[in-house]
Amino acid sequence: MILPGATLGVLGGGQLGRMFAMSARSMGYRVVTWDPDPHCPAKDFSSFHLSAGFEDEDAVRYCLDNMDAVTTEFENVPAKTLERLSEKLIVTPPAKGVGICQDRIREKTFLSGLGFPVPEFFPVTQKKDIDSIPPGFPFPALLKRSRLGYDGKGQMPVGTPDEAASIFSAWGGVPCILEERVLFDKEISVILARNRSGAIRYFPVSENRHRQGVLEISVAPARIREALAKKAMEIAGSVAEKMEYSGILAVELFLLHDGRFLVNELAPRPHNSGHFTLDACLTSQFEQQVRVLCDIPMGDSALSMPAAMGNLMGDLWTKGEPDWDILLENPRLKLHLYGKSSPRPGRKMGHFTILGNHPDDAYEEALVLLQRLQSPL
């Protein structure tokens, strides 16, 4: 076990790194954040900040000489850097798991190869691949960049193979994946923690609502039958086991009208849809990230009461500072701002959690609050 007083590193200094650092510091650990941005949000809660690229050799050596364990806050850290660090340090998630999740083609191929249900897909790594799309492939579809896509970025709807070829060329021929557009009843998230001994703790299954490809609201528990929630957790746990994963893993699934699940995406880190755990669970996803990294016993992840999380996007700052009274007048609301200095449309600036007696009530209240923020009187 790595006990309080040790130094933990987090690669990535965004809001996820910030909330990890806050949890780790409150537990008595020193935290080094590594992010090219010298003003990243996580720096505020860091013992030391490395402002360098993720392949910088001096930064790698600093970590090897000054840290006890390392984690990540996003999946696009070079796997080779994680492999270097793991030669001497404890690293979670392991490079293998990050490598699977940072490439959509590799991720979908891994999942389908092991029999997990996924949307129909077809890799496109060169333009001539489009000529080989199976005749029955379901269009309209989505063309997604295989790497570096998030929050709806790096993906476009396509109605025909010719349209896919045109967009593929416009993107410079970078590797892509063509996926069927799934008609689903709900999108849900299962966030779990798996330690190096293979024990798993699940957070309550959450239900997600998106707006323009970006998560807008998550509500927990998800408004689905208990048997379906258990099935979703079984799928997510099996994915983590097959990956030989350790750390926090988010598994996004589509729930179809006939009760089947399709695995949509994996995220090898805490996830936006799990931010409600900061206020509504006995142990948050970030504290659990610290516990798994340090190999100390995992905390109880039970839900204290139903909750809904609402994202605060940079669009809310278009006409100046949002009217925080709309949120702060509510005694059952918790506000989290990420310390980002420059709001812009589409940028996550913070979130709030509203606690309620029933998930329906929490969801409706979160929706009304967001609408009031977007259109204040």
> Which pLDDT does position 212 carry in this prediction?
82
Mean per-residue pLDDT of the chain: 95
Q: What is the CATH number of domain 186-374?
A: 3.30.470.20
pTM of the model: 0.95
Q: Mean pLDDT across the stretch 252-265? A: 97
Per-residue model confidence (pLDDT) at position 377: 62
Q: What is the pLDDT of residue 341?
A: 84
What's 132's DSSP letter?
G
pLDDT at 376 over 90: no
Q: Where are the beta strands (DSSP E) in 163-203?
A: 176-180, 186-194, 200-202
Segments making up each domain of the chain, as ranges: 7-91, 120-180, 186-374
Secondary-structure class of domain 120-180 per CATH: alpha beta
Nearest to 44 by CA among 56, 31, 63: 31
Residue 164 identity: A
Quote the pLDDT of residue 81: 93
Alpha helices (runs of H) in the chain, residue ranges in sequence order: 15-26, 57-66, 79-86, 95-101, 104-113, 161-170, 226-242, 277-280, 285-294, 325-328, 359-374
pLDDT, position 149: 67
The fold of the 7-91 domain, in CATH, is Rossmann fold (3.40.50)
| pLDDT tens digit sequence for 218-238 | 999 999 999 999 999 999 999
Query: Does the pLDDT at position 153 exceed 90?
Result: no
What integer is the mean pLDDT of 199-226? 96
Average pLDDT over residues 297-304: 97
pLDDT tens digits for range 112-132: 999 999 999 999 999 999 999
Give the model's confidence band at 152: pLDDT under 50 very low, under 70 low, under 90 confident, else very high: low
Instruction: Please state, in angstroms and rounded to a whole number, the distance separating the CA atoms of residues 139 and 181.
Output: 8
Mean predicted confidence (pLDDT) in 135-162: 87
- Which of 76, 79, 95, 61 shows the shortest CA–CA distance to 14? 76
Res 76: pLDDT: 86
User: Over the stretch 52-100, which tens digit does the pLDDT of each residue have?
Assistant: 999 999 999 999 999 999 999 988 888 889 999 999 999 999 999 998 9
